Amino acid sequence: MQSIKEILKKLCEADFVGSVGSALDTAGVFLSKYCTVRRKGNNLIGEIKGNTDYTVLLDAHIDQIGMVVTAVKDGFLKVQSAGGIDSRMLAGMRVTVYGKEPIRGVFCSTPPHLGKSDSVLKIEDMYIDTGLGVKLSDVVSVGDRVVFSTEFSELAGDKVTAKSIDDRAGCVALIKCAELLSGKELPCNVVFLLSDAEEIGGMGAKTQSFDISPDLAVAVDVSFGNAPDIAADKTGTLGDGAMIGISPVLSHTVTEMLKAAAENKEIKYQLEVMGGKTSTNADKIVETRCGVLTGLLSIPIRNMHTPVEVVDVKDISSVAEILASFVLTLEVK
């Protein structure tokens, strides 16, 4: 049995953007210990059979923000973002370029002596240097994928920092939930979906939830964690447990069931109130077929959509435990 930190480290170190990377393989090794696993496109699906045909879908997206090469010019690369990237932190950032083989690179940075120190370039106006110079075009082509290259590091207490915590933290929560449910008598079928393409529109969750056709669903994603200069009412506190979503898009019934599941096991949680859509896969799942009753659990993180996202692993554990309690106490009619 591996710890949350160990699983998260391996998932965050694996890349997955477009058709590039090994995160699906890595997640599959962990998930297959507890359920039957299959692939559908770039999505990983695990299932534990229950005592009825009633099906609960638990979703977390496994794709990460990244970039795509748009030009190879004068020995340097130009890229465009695939998912929301804040260009303010790109200068000097290390990346991995997936060409004919993976190669290292860095975003170029104009020395402050030669440029305006307060100017921020758009990502499409920046360049990546691999050191290959004129040989670069032999290895990298337009359309190749680029991802951040930072190490997983432990901070004080139960906090860690890494790239791709959005939403590998959610994937770990689903894996740990599968572990908690493994070998138990379940009132329903449970399908674990590690879905693709959330960062560019949620197509993985939309297509696979249509195919799975669940009776009920819970999406798991990350949300904004407390940090300086961010309004407290727009964030969750790291270490205070899962954020249970409240939104017009979400099912009030499922939300109350998630709250009851947490309280039944005395699991810490906090509330996240949204006035409209959730900007997660929940928005896609709820529209599936004739509609699916859908809830949302989020994990608060800091520095979202950067290579140094921060999470408290206790919050990942909180999500896994709430989901397991939710499934085990479900009354299927």
CB 12 within 8 A of CB 28: no
187 burial class (0-12, 13-18, 19+ CB within 10 angstroms)? middle
Cα distance between residue 241 and residue 281, in whole Å = 20
Q: How far apart are CA 81 and CA 70, in angstroms?
A: 10
Tell me the pairing of strands 309-312 and 293-302: antiparallel
In angstroms, rounded to a whole number, what is the distance separating the alpha carbons of residues 226 and 248? 24
In the chain, where does DSSP find H-type helix? Answer: 4-13, 23-31, 165-181, 203-212, 252-264, 282-285, 313-328
- How far is 97 from 104, CA to CA, in rounded Å? 6
User: In the chain, what is the greatest distance between 2 CA atoms, to the nearest angstrom?
Assistant: 70
Identity of the amino acid at 283: D
- 55-61 vs 189-195, strand pairing mode: parallel
Token pair 């496994």 is found at 62
198 is an active site residue: yes
Active-site position among 198, 199, 272, 309: 198
304: left (phi over 0), alpha (psi -120 to 50) or beta: beta
Q: Which residues are catalytic?
A: 198
